[in-house]
Chains A and B, each alone.
Chain A
């Protein structure tokens, strides 16, 4: 299993479980694999933007380049949307964040393969929220 497949098949579902269940950390162990995800959450328990729910394990992978939001707004994917496994050449627009009706393009800033998509269509994101992780290797 490549690292991308691992992220797509294991880490992302775990991250979703973590958020859905409101957990702070989650550890899953198998024969040759152990995955631990944790997040920092403020108290209050109400809906929070993605940057407060950042799965930290993914970012520590050295080959991954996490692309974050510079604005507060809602995520809009392109047609067809960039998904896990999408190969990107050059500086391509992956999606945009809509702020006050203005389209803020999210660019790949170079070639790579989309390894993680952190957000969903229409999701509210704030400054610094992770949107995509690109594998530059």
Chain B
């Protein structure tokens, strides 16, 4: 097994990786920015190196300093977590060139899947159903001709994208030019790559994704689906669950089979997620995320598999210790993302000092967090503070556990999404299950704003 893993991330996912390493008997090296000097991952790792100042471009994205840290400390592997350098093919290649095992798929596969337009073409060729769309768009005029061919409404997306950044919905041609410019500059700012492509906007779909694990010996399994349809207006996920409520068995089987086919088509190794839009019986491949995802705990809780440990074992070259027949889901799990942001002000990020923290516990509750009382939330990074995950025998019991856990949660000093998550869980439409991705931005938040204005 690896002797020492460099954890190239921060926040809760850095802790998650450190925990997996410790349980496997692997030493850890944390990296941190000056803004994270007091962070929990710095304290829990065996060694810690400062790689730059607060802004991530100069610290968590500082490839020379991160690689240098790995070489100086003698780390033989590197776990990128999610975000930052997790889907940067060049970085994965640089790790390989320096004899450091990148815990994830090969640089080639990351590059293939990271170019979202190219990934769709590849999947289409492999027989995977995709949404109608265009290649990379050179100009707003190019976009307009593409949109006329596909038919409005359309969605502009960043080819290097993820997490909803660089995405714009366009209902008619008049909105196109401004939206194109905005998506382009947002993509450039977030990913250093301003290339944009277009897809047909599927109305009222659900976002359902399939987790796969593939080893380097041809072994591959899926670990079912996650429903991530509760998304903020920015398309970022807020509440995820597994299995997807009310999904027809034949649609589920088709999704999982397609996911395995797709992963095999690109000779995928390690943990990956294939994201689909589901509308009735129709499924459309959106993109493949070549990394561990934020919402991986809901899958872990119903399958009893530690996905991060599996990532590490696969990267070391071990074969999967189980086959598809050994895997079956038990119960239902829900995750709420507790973000430092103000739902009453368009989810504006809320940096500041967390003065008090009380986290939930008890039966069926898992909390993945880097929070502690006295933590100063820096303004530079993702706003995720904690993931509260509830598991129960049924969806109803998972929901009631989650409601109870949210009621126990107290985070003072910064605005968070705790109360909003509770409100969503109590909404009869959520309780019924199978809400589409437009439910939160176009219905729930609009109604909520109206109610707040009247109060």
Question: Which residue numbers of A lie inside 8 Å of B, CB to CB?
Answer: 42-44, 46-49, 51-52, 71-74, 99-100, 102, 124, 126-129
Given A44-B47, A49-B49, A74-B72, 8 more pairs with CB closer than 8 A: A46-B46, A48-B47, A49-B50, A52-B50, A72-B50, A72-B64, A73-B72, A99-B68
How far is A127 from B72 in the complex, measured between Cα atoms in Å? 13
B69 within 8 A of partner (CB) = yes
B43 touches A42 (CB 8 A): yes
Chain B residues contacting A46 (CB-CB under 8 Å) are 46-47
B27's nearest neighbour on chain A, judged by CB, is A46
Alpha-carbon distance A128/B46, docked complex (angstroms): 20
Q: Mark B29-73, 1 if CB is under 8 A from A, else 0.
A: 000001000000011011111111100000100001111110111
> Does A48 lie within 8 Å of B48, measured CB to CB?
yes
Check B46 against A127 for contact (C-beta < 8 Å): no
Given contacts A72-B72, A99-B64, A99-B65, contact A127 B50 (CB under 8 A): yes
Cross-chain contact of A127 among B45, B51, B71, B73 (Cβ < 8 A)? B51
Q: B49 and A43: CB pair below 8 A?
A: no
Q: In the complex, what distance in Å separates the CA atom of A127 from the CA atom of B47? A: 14
The docked-state distance in angstroms from the alpha carbon of A47 to that of B46 is 9
The listed residue (A44, A47, A99, A128) touching B50 by CB distance below 8 A is: A128
Q: By the criterion CB–CB under 8 Å, are A42 and B65 in contact?
A: no
Taking CB atoms, residues of chain B closer than 8 Å to A73 are: 68, 72
Chain B residues with Cβ under 8 A from A43's Cβ? 43
- Chain A CB count within 10 A is highest, among B52, B65, B66, for B65
Q: Which of B48, B51, B59, B66 contacts A42 (CB 8 A)?
A: B48
Size of chain B's interface in residues, with CB distance under 8 A? 23
Do A72 and B49 touch (CB < 8 A)?
yes
Are A44 and B69 in contact, CB atoms less than 8 angstroms apart? no
Chain A residues with Cβ below 8 Å from B51 are 72, 126-127
What is the chain B residue whose CB lies nearest that of A69? B50
* B201 CB, nearest partner CB in chain A, Å: 44
Q: Which of A71, A102, A127, A129 has the most CB of B within 10 A?
A: A127
Residues of B within 8 A of A102 (CB): 64
Q: Using Cβ atoms and an 8 Å threshold, which residues of chain B touch A48?
A: 47-48
Are A44 and B52 neighbours in the complex by a CB distance under 8 Å? no
B binding-site residues for A, Cβ under 8 Å: 34, 42-43, 45-53, 59, 64-69, 71-73, 98
CB distance from A19 to the nearest CB of B (A): 15
In the assembly, what is the distance between CA of A74 and CA of B52, in Å? 16
Cβ-defined contact, A127 with B67, below 8 A: no
The residue on B at minimum CB distance from A42 is B43
Check B34 against A100 for contact (C-beta < 8 Å). Answer: no
B45 touches A44 (CB 8 A): yes
Q: In the complex, A53 Cα to B278 Cα: how many Å?
A: 54
Interfacial chain B residues near A99, Cβ < 8 Å: 64-65, 68
* Contacting residues, chain B, for A52 (C-beta < 8 A): 48, 50
Contact check, B50 vs A51: say whether CB atoms are below 8 A apart. Answer: yes
**What are 17 A-to-B residue pairs whose CB atoms are below 8 Å?**
A42-B48, A44-B43, A44-B45, A44-B46, A44-B47, A44-B48, A49-B48, A52-B48, A72-B66, A72-B72, A74-B72, A100-B64, A124-B72, A124-B73, A126-B69, A127-B49, A128-B50
Tell me which residues across on chain B come within 8 A of A44, comparing CB atoms: 43, 45-48
Supposing A126-B50, A127-B52 touch, asked if A72 and B68 sit within 8 A by C-beta, the answer is yes
Name the distance in Å between A41's Cβ and chain B's nearest Cβ. Answer: 10
CB-defined contacts of B71 to chain A, threshold 8 Å:
100
Smallest CB gap from A74: residue in B: B72
Nearest Cβ in chain A — how far from B382, in angstroms? Answer: 21
Which residues of chain A come closer than 8 Å to B34, judged between CB atoms?
127-128
Q: Give bound CA distance, A74 to B67, whole Å.
A: 13
Q: How far is the CA of A41 from the CA of B42 in the complex (A)?
A: 10
Quick one: which of A42, A47, A72, A74 contacts B42, CB cutoff 8 A? A42
Q: Which residues of A contact B66 (CB under 8 A)?
A: 72
Which residues from B are CB-within-8-Å of A127?
Answer: 34, 49-53, 59, 65
Alpha-carbon gap, A84 to B227, bound state (A):
64
For A127, the closest partner residue in chain B by CB is B50
Known: A99-B64, A127-B34, A127-B59. A72 touches B69 (CB 8 A): yes
A71/B48 in contact, CB under 8 A: no
Q: What chain B residues lie within 8 Å of A47 (beta carbons)?
A: 47
Residues of A within 8 A of B98 (CB): 100
B45: A residues at CB distance < 8 A: 44
Q: Give the complex CA separation of A87 and B42 in angstroms.
A: 38
Closest chain-B Cβ to A14's Cβ sits at a distance in Å of: 24
Q: How far is the CA of A102 from the CA of B48 in the complex (A)?
A: 22
A72 is contacted by which of B43, B46, B65 (Cβ under 8 Å)? B65
| For the complex of A and B, 9 pairs with smallest distance between CB atoms | A72-B68, A126-B49, A72-B65, A127-B50, A126-B50, A99-B68, A124-B72, A72-B69, A42-B43
A48 to B49, CA, bound (A): 7
In the bound complex, how far is the Cα of B64 from the Cα of A44, in angstroms? Answer: 26
Nearest B residue (CB) for A52: B48
Q: Is the CB of A71 within 8 A of B64?
A: yes
- Shortest C-beta distance, B315 to chain A (Å), equals 22
Q: How distant is the Cα of A100 from the Cα of B66 in the complex, in angstroms?
A: 10
Chain B residue nearest to A98 (CB atoms) is: B68
A74 to B34, CA, bound (A): 20
